[in-house]
Amino acid sequence: MRHRSHVVRGVVASQAVELPPFSEFLEEHKGTVFRFLMAAVGPHEADDAFQETFVAALRAYPRLTDASKLDRWVLRIASRKAIDHHRAAGRRAIPSGDLPEHPAAPGGRAELDGDLRAAVASLPPKQRVAVVHRHVLDRSYADVAEVMGISEEAARANVYQGVKKLRELMT
Amino acid sequence: MKSTDLKKLGGGREADRLAELAAKALAGTAADAGLLDVALGGLESPVGELLVAVTPRGLAYVAFEDEERDELLARLSRQLSPRILEHPKATDEVRRQLDEYFAGDRTRFELKLDRRLMRGISRDVLAATARVPFGRTTTYGTLAERIGRPRASRAVGNALGSNPIPIVVPCHRVLRAGGDVGGYAGGPSRKRRLLTLEGSLPTGARGA
């Protein structure tokens, strides 16, 4: 059950969906948010970004009036945090070894994953977040647009540009 | 590069384990930020597993294990705050005192109570109930008199039945006039168990 609206729809269609206890909300969305952040900010920063995302959610939670789109709501917060983290990380020195400058290294899977991770990390933040929503979480372009607060056209463009750059970096 | 490679960046199974840990850690982060309004913790007891809900004002709820958990959380969410998380650490003092009580090392609870879940006449009834000491019992009628409504013993029964803080507010010490243990939100066998533990019922005694 992703949205409680399915349960009440048809019974009291006009009534706003009741906000679940935060514990239930966390239980339902922690996996998706963590996977998103693992991919969007990397394994080292994912935990911090996760805490920031859910603390921000908890802060705003009692004021929510409609609980029917909670997964998109929390992903919107996570997207903002991912972009913030990207900016913060950009101010830190990135060890050159992390960049996929030497794709010739015929390593095993771990190295390929590491290279891909570094390639994703090198994308501009919006492209990175859009690519992750689309290709890690399998979201529709409409969803990507909604959680990023951009048009569907812009969502497609960001995903397209991002994937194109990744292909260049990984070949 | 294939999109299946991208998918792996989400962390696969490992991400689920890490998400679990991160979610556990969140309660502490939230409490430190002053954003946790209801902390949940569990403990084992001779009357089964108990779930306790603690707010910044004090202990608000003690639930027996047969209470439906989702329903209970929805109710706490509506009536207290939706900012609810499992955070056993915030319930340590309550759990410690309950452990001592069940071990026979405590006859009086020294806990702040959050009485927001007691409505109307229940507040008076439960306040009077809280003054019935360990090892003693009283009756619905006596309690009705004590709150100045001698004919309200049915209302007293209802108030006790909806006691949000059983054991700590000892509604199990209120019996029927004839000496039958009477009803109990947690079931009569738990009531007998608690009374036996307090020495108010001989071991193995049977109630109505």
B50 beta partners: B43, B64
Q: Please state the separation of Cα A109 from the chain's center in Å.
A: 24
Higher confidence at residue B159 or residue A15? B159
Are B64 and B48 within 8 A, CB to CB?
yes
DSSP B156-201: HHHHHHT-SSTTTS-GGGEE-TTS-----TT-HHHHHHHHHHTTSS
Note the pLDDT of residue A6: 42
Told to judge if B146 belongs to the known catalytic residues of this protein, a careful annotator would answer no
- B204 falls in which pLDDT band (50, 70, 90)? low
- pLDDT higher than threshold 80 for residue B94: yes
Note the pLDDT of residue B177: 87
Q: Where are the beta strands (DSSP E) in chain A?
A: none
- pLDDT higher than threshold 70 for residue B106: yes
Q: Kindly list the structural domains of chain A, giving each domain's residue range(s) and its CATH number in brackets, ordered by start.
A: 1-92 (1.10.1740.10), 97-171 (1.10.10.10)
Q: How far apart are CA A2 and CA A71, in angstroms?
A: 8
| Beta-carbon separation of A50 and B26 below 8 A | yes
Give contacts of A61 with chain B, Cβ < 8 Å.
82-83
Q: Which of A63, A166, A124, A30 is nearest to B81 (CA)?
A: A63
Higher confidence at residue A94 or residue B8? B8
Note the pLDDT of residue A111: 58
- pLDDT higher than threshold 80 for residue B118: yes
Least reliable range by pLDDT among A97-111, B36-50, B162-176: A97-111
**Percent above pLDDT 70 for chain B:** 95
Give contacts of A166 with chain B, Cβ < 8 Å.
1, 6
Q: Where are the beta strands (DSSP E) in B19-177?
A: 38-43, 50-55, 58-64, 84-86, 138-139, 174-175
Interface probe for A, chosen from B6, B69, B75 (most Cβ of A below 10 Å), is: B6
Is the CB of residue B108 less than 8 Å away from at least one CB of chain A?
A: no
| Beta-carbon separation of A51 and B26 below 8 A | yes
- pLDDT higher than threshold 80 for residue B4: no
- pLDDT higher than threshold 70 for residue B121: yes
Q: How far is A152 from chain B (nearest CA, A)?
A: 21
Give contacts of A58 with chain B, Cβ < 8 Å.
30, 33, 35-36, 83
| Beta-carbon separation of A35 and B84 below 8 A | no
pLDDT tens digits, one per residue of A63-101: 998 888 999 999 999 999 999 886 666 555 444 444 444
CA A125-A129-A132 angle, 5° bins: 140
Report which listed range, A82-86, B184-188, B195-199, is most confident: B195-199
Give contacts of A22 with chain B, Cβ < 8 Å.
77, 82-85
How many Cβ atoms sit within 10 Å of the Cβ of residue B132?
Answer: 19
What ipTM score was computed for the predicted complex, to two decimals?
A: 0.89
Q: Kindly list the structural domains of chain B, giving each domain's residue range(s) and its CATH number in brackets, ordered by start.
A: 15-102 (3.30.160), 121-197 (1.10.10.10)
- pLDDT higher than threshold 90 for residue A13: no
Note the pLDDT of residue A107: 45
| Beta-carbon separation of A24 and B73 below 8 A | yes
